[in-house]
Every structure is written in C-alpha cells, then in structure tokens.
A = this chain, B = another copy of it.
Amino acid sequence: MPPARPAQKSLQHRTIASAVAEEVRRRIVDGEFKSGFQLRQDALATEFGVSRIPVREALMQLEAEGLVKIHPHRGAIVSELSMEEVQELFELRALLEPRLLKASAKHLTEADYERLSQILQEYSSELRAKHVRRWGELNTEFHNVLYQHAGQPRAQAIVGGLLQECDRHTRLQLSLTGGMERAEVEHAELVRLCKSGKVSAACALLKKHIEDVGKSLRNYFEEHTKAT
C-alpha cells in the first residue's frame, strides 16, 4: 500500500483540472469570489501548485456551467448577472423542475425517502445558520435526489446548473430574511406530498416555491437599490 500522496490541497480527483474546477466553483458559490472578480490563471495555478493548463480547463468547465465568463485574450471573470437575468433563471427552474418531479416522483424508492429525511433533519439542526455553505450543498442534493428517476438526464443537467447559480445569488438574501426556515417547511411538505402519492399537488407546490423565492429576491433587491 503506497503511503497517502502529498495531498497537494486535499483534492483527490480523477484529474487535476476537475479538482481545480470543484474548488473554484465552491468559492464562487460561497461568495468568496464575487461577481466581476477577475480569475487570473497564473494566480490560481500558483496557489494550487499546478500549471496553468488544468486551470484553463477548469475555467472553461465553469464557463459552461455559467459561473464564469471568458473573454478571449482578456481573461475570465466571475459572471455578473443582472436582476432580470437572475429572474430568468428562476423562471426556467419553475418551468423545468415541476416537470422533472412529475416524471420522477412515482419512482422514488424507500432508500430515496430515507436520504431525503436525513437531509431535512440536517437542515433543522441548529448549525444551519453557521454553515451557509453546507446548506447550499444540501439544497442541491435534495433536488437531485428528487429528480434522479425522471429519466431526463439533459433536463436534470440544465437544472443542476441553474440551481447552482440561483444558490449563489440567493444566499445572502436567504440568510438575512429567514428564507431558509421557510424553505425547510416547504421542502418537508414537498416530501410528504410525494410520499402520499399526491404528485400533482407536489409539483404545484414546487412551482410556487421556486416562484416565491424568485419574487422575494426581486423585492429584496428593489428595496435595497431604492434605499441607497
């Protein structure tokens, strides 16, 4: 058995590029890299102790996900979305996610419900306020478990990207306005409806849930731009 490798940055992945992508993605979603921030290949490569090739590839992957915008010969920045564009993300989610749930709900297994319960429990444990990052991870997994049996891999991939970006832009507002508590009760209700076979009711709730979060975000934005 070879001794554990030096563990460059505690990143163990199939390729260095994917490891870098994961770390940079985390920082963007967590808000460490804010909108408009310039991502310089050299700086990232030096920090991670790798060459610039895998960094470039990581940035390209993140651009495909929409988190980064690359201008040829001018570098990459964390993508800046207008409120209209963020609203569009929520509209697309409200359109796509109920479809996925409708197709997936009846195929959810006992093990799936078990995992969903675990997630809901971890939500309600008191450490939610402390670890906003963990909350986002759980939120993503929650949705992925719900949709995994829809048999619509393309739609699920699209929704995955949308979720990630929505999370990034919702995070601040969520933690300030108590949106997380509300999301929790709605998520629990969602699982209850699915479990009892009321699929169309679950889909309607899901759609409303997404639309409400979007509206809430816009209201928050408008008040704060009017004030200042």
Chain A residues packing against B (C-beta within 8 Å): 14-15, 18, 53, 56-57, 60-61, 63-64, 66, 72-73, 84-85, 88-89, 91-92, 95-96, 99, 151-155, 158
Q: Across the interface, which residues of B come within 8 angstroms of A153, CB to CB? A: 85, 88
Name the distance in Å between A169's Cβ and chain B's nearest Cβ: 13
> Is B72's CB under 8 angstroms from A154's CB?
no
CB-contact partner of A154 in B15, B61, B88, under 8 A: B88
> Is A158's CB under 8 angstroms from B155's CB?
no
Chain B residue at minimum C-beta to C-beta distance from A84: B151
Name the distance in Å between A14's Cβ and chain B's nearest Cβ: 5
> Is B155's CB under 8 angstroms from A88's CB?
yes
* Assembled-state Cα–Cα distance A155/B215 (Å): 19
Given A14-B73, A85-B154, 16 more A-B residue pairs with CB atoms under 8 Å apart are A14-B72, A15-B73, A18-B72, A60-B61, A61-B64, A63-B64, A66-B154, A84-B151, A85-B153, A89-B154, A91-B152, A92-B154, A92-B155, A92-B158, A95-B99, A158-B158
* Assembled-state Cα–Cα distance A37/B39 (Å): 35
Q: How many copies altogether?
A: 2
CB-contact partner of A57 in B56, B89, B91, under 8 A: B56
Chain B residue at minimum C-beta to C-beta distance from A71: B14
Q: Across the interface, which residues of B come within 8 angstroms of A66, CB to CB? A: 154
Q: Across the interface, which residues of B come within 8 angstroms of A88, CB to CB? A: 152-155
Name the distance in Å between A35's Cβ and chain B's nearest Cβ: 16
* Assembled-state Cα–Cα distance A61/B14 (Å): 19
Name the distance in Å between A62's Cβ and chain B's nearest Cβ: 10
* Assembled-state Cα–Cα distance A61/B64 (Å): 8
Chain B residue at minimum C-beta to C-beta distance from A13: B72
* Assembled-state Cα–Cα distance A73/B85 (Å): 36
> Is A72's CB under 8 angstroms from B15's CB?
yes
4 tightest A-B CB contacts, nearest first: A64-B64, A14-B72, A88-B152, A60-B60
